[in-house]
Structure 1
Amino acid sequence: MPAYYATAPGKIILVGEHAVVYGRAAIAVPVFQVRAKAVINFEPRSAPGKVTLRAPDIGLESTLADLPENHPLAAVIWKCASAMNLSHIPACTIQITSSIPIAGGMGSGAAVSVAVLRAFSASLGHPLSDEQVSQLAYEVEVIHHGTPSGIDNSVISYAKPVYFEKEKKIEILAVKQPFTLVIGDTGLQSPTAIVVSDVCQAWEKAGDQFEHLFDAIGTIAASARKAIEQGAIDSLGALMNENHALLGKMNVSSPMLDKLVEAARSAGALGSKLSGAGRGGNMIALVSPDSSQVVAEALTKAGAKRTIITEIRAA
């Protein structure tokens, strides 16, 4: 039988991280230079229902039966099977690979879930819709992260720039003028759940202060949307700088992130900020196309372990 496969892109949050968990808006965009991939091979000679999972990037090889149901990879398969009303899962091998950094703020977990959901449902002849994939991936994110905003599964499932608010219909952004981002990886893992929990504890202790910060970031997200829709890229850079300063007040930046952010600005970036949970992971810099290599080299010189240059276009 033929193999079935699907891929899903990474993502970065342009503006709005952390505040989005508390009901404010955020903007996220897909990053197609990095991807998760799921390949499914049916095994008709294996015992019925035997599902073997192989994820060499994390050193995992196990049967589905041997994984706890709340394991992210097991959960995504069980949720997909339930959504498709399967009475049993056919014997198969699922191979999962990813070039997306783990715990780096680029949606590695959500991308794996989306790739598996797409490959698994397509292999059984009933491919899920973007909306279904996003919802199921979100449910897996809840197991893994506790209180995710829902932005990762949304932007990765639709693979388009999105304007996102919790409990509201996702909006695909109209990008009037393409713009270029340089992503700088600190090389430091920073699990989202831990940082989100720390922010929550700080919010519980100083609610008024953090609500003010969240409101300010929500205003930045709304302004950034207008800038993108109007092609006002210089304005977008200034908004990114403001957003980074506010995230610093939440104690989610780090010396390395700040160093890379400043290195990008010194090299001519229009704006720069941390992206994702913070404390490690990635930062982003908005650049003119002709300065992208200069900024990328400056980030490498400042200590970035990897850089990615990506262009954001209309959906």
Structure 2
Amino acid sequence: MALDEGEVTSDSEIRSMEVRARAPGKIILAGEHAVVHGSAAVAAAIDLYTSSSLRLLPTGEGGAAGAVELDLRDSGLAFSWPCSRLREALGEGCKAEAPRPCSPDELAAIAKLLEEHEIPEAKIWLSAGLSAFLFLYASILGCRPGRVVVSSELPMGAGLGSSAAFCVSMSGALLTAAAAVSVGGSGGEWELFGKDDLELVNRWAFQGEKIIHGKPSGIDNAVSTFGSMIRFKKGELTNLKSRNPVKMLISDTRVGRNTKALVAGVCERASRHPDAMSSVFHAVNSVSEELSSIVELAAEDEIAITSKEEKLAELMEMNQGLLQCMGISHASIETVLRTTLKYSLVSKLTGAGGGGCVLTLIPTLLSNLVLEKVTTELESHGFRCFKVEVGGQGLQVCRG
């Protein structure tokens, strides 16, 4: 049940309530773009997180009637909305147990709230995320005074699911504070939710993603919520269990791209060459299905692990070739491919293409010296590199 005003007995109890939640980013291991045309795709969580810290404030702190404050650490921006204005714009009610979409009237009201702040032109893209925050906060927690601090290890807009990680971590923190979900333990350590609670978080996070992206697939928020790996095909999600650690080097090319335009470009190519592109999508489906099977195989010794990694590398290489057939590669992506190939490493783009991020499989037996050399060379091109483990934990919460 959502927390009612009457359940809080003192300002000191409110002041001591602090919740931190963190949610991972994601990568697409296989199947991007083709998934729109009915093929399977495989996505996985990575150990780069977005964290949301929520502290409820006593009424009167931050203004006579209190305020909702948001501090975006990575952007260097802070916002504050009087609770009275939120109540006026979005109403009183909070029904944390019943996720629902943001109505057009609510979106219009939120837009007016944002107009009261001067968002720098260079960061105007944050408006969608701020809208999602205000909707989730008011819907889950009501117009209760609070301070939220958000920080992230994920690059924004690079195809690593930063917006989903934001929505998932925010929903997890808000639902915990509203007592709509529960975790065990005594506090002070990262804890996990049960399946039903994760489902509730995921449904709320999806509503936030809809505000940001319009028509999201739901893959990003599902991976960020539940973690591990998933196979996605025609709207159905299947959880995959990775039996051995998989490590990747992610190269952020820092090249922005228009995802909608890239998706439309693949569709146009498919309409011009229906038979050829149908064969491409069918081949991608085969790659995704085989990759799904391989990641679930248990390899018990170095020989078996190396064999498994070689098969994964071959499938990644094939998938990259098929993505090039779709016309979504980019000079920056090709630079990563050439650079890593010099070190006998296999790479593929992840996400929409046209820039964004590129994955490079790190074999278990690869020396740290070689990894340092390839990383240094990639960074010399202006790319940002992240070493990550694939298929780890999803949403986690820590209560202060």
TM-score range, shorter chain: 0.7 to 0.9
| Secondary structure in structure 2 of the residue aligned to 1:58 | coil
| Secondary structure in structure 2 of the residue aligned to 1:126 | coil
Q: Provide closer, same or farther for how the CA distance between residues 313 and 281 of structure 1 changes in structure 2, counting only shifts above 3 A.
A: closer
- Please tell me the residue identity of whatever aligns with 1:312: V
Q: Provide closer, same or farther for how the CA distance between residues 287 and 157 of structure 1 changes in structure 2, counting only shifts above 3 A.
A: same
Partner of 1:281: 356
Identify which of 285, 288, 292 aligns with 1:225. Answer: 292
Structure 2 matches for 1:70-89, cutoff 5 A? Answer: 71-79=128-136, 81-82=138-139, 84=140, 88-89=142-143
Identify which of 381, 384, 390 aligns with 1:306. Answer: 384
- Please tell me the residue identity of whatever aligns with 1:267: Y
Deviation at 1:57, TM superposition (A): 2.3
For 1:250 and 1:144, how far apart are their aligned partners in 2?
Answer: 26
Q: Does 1:175 align with 2:253?
A: no
| Secondary structure in structure 2 of the residue aligned to 1:177 | coil
Q: Deviations over 1:231-257 (max 9, x none)?
A: 522111111001111111222111111
Deviation at 1:190, TM superposition (A): 3.0
- Please tell me the residue identity of whatever aligns with 2:177: S
For 2:313 and 2:259, how far apart are their aligned partners in 1?
Answer: 25
For 1:23 and 1:4, how far apart are their aligned partners in 2?
Answer: 40
- Please tell me the residue identity of whatever aligns with 2:36: V
Structure 2 matches for 1:120-159, cutoff 5 A? Answer: 120-127=174-181, 129-159=197-227
For 1:95 and 1:268, how far apart are their aligned partners in 2?
Answer: 42
Q: Provide closer, same or farther for how the CA distance between residues 59 and 229 of structure 1 changes in structure 2, counting only shifts above 3 A.
A: same
Deviation at 1:30, TM superposition (A): 1.3
| Secondary structure in structure 2 of the residue aligned to 1:291 | coil
- Please tell me the residue identity of whatever aligns with 1:107: G
Q: Provide closer, same or farther for how the CA distance between residues 132 and 10 of structure 1 changes in structure 2, counting only shifts above 3 A.
A: same
Deviation at 1:62, TM superposition (A): 2.8
Q: Provide closer, same or farther for how the CA distance between residues 53 and 141 of structure 1 changes in structure 2, counting only shifts above 3 A.
A: same
Deviation at 1:81, TM superposition (A): 4.8
Partner of 2:70: 53
Q: Provide closer, same or farther for how the CA distance between residues 283 and 4 of structure 1 changes in structure 2, counting only shifts above 3 A.
A: same
Contact 2:253 2:355 (8 Å CA) reproduced: yes
Q: Does 1:7 align with 2:32?
A: no
Structure 2 matches for 1:88-107, cutoff 5 A? Answer: 88-107=142-161
Contact 2:262 2:353 (8 Å CA) reproduced: yes
Partner of 2:317: 241
- Please tell me the residue identity of whatever aligns with 1:186: T
Q: Provide closer, same or farther for how the CA distance between residues 139 and 177 of structure 1 changes in structure 2, counting only shifts above 3 A.
A: same
Structure 2: gaps (5+ residues): 1-14, 87-112, 116-126, 182-195, 300-307, 394-400
Q: Does 1:16 align with 2:70?
A: no
For 1:158 and 1:73, how far apart are their aligned partners in 2?
Answer: 24
Tell which has more relative contact order, 1 or 2 (C-alpha 8 A, sep 6+): 2
Identify which of 46, 49, 59 aligns with 1:31. Answer: 46
For 1:190 and 1:199, how far apart are their aligned partners in 2?
Answer: 14
Structure 1: gaps (5+ residues): none
Q: Deviations over 1:55-105 (max 9, x none)?
A: 13234433455237x8333324424654x5x6x321112221112001111
Contact 2:44 2:391 (8 Å CA) reproduced: no
TM-score, with normalisation over the residues of structure 1?
0.86
Partner of 2:343: 267
Partner of 1:67: 114
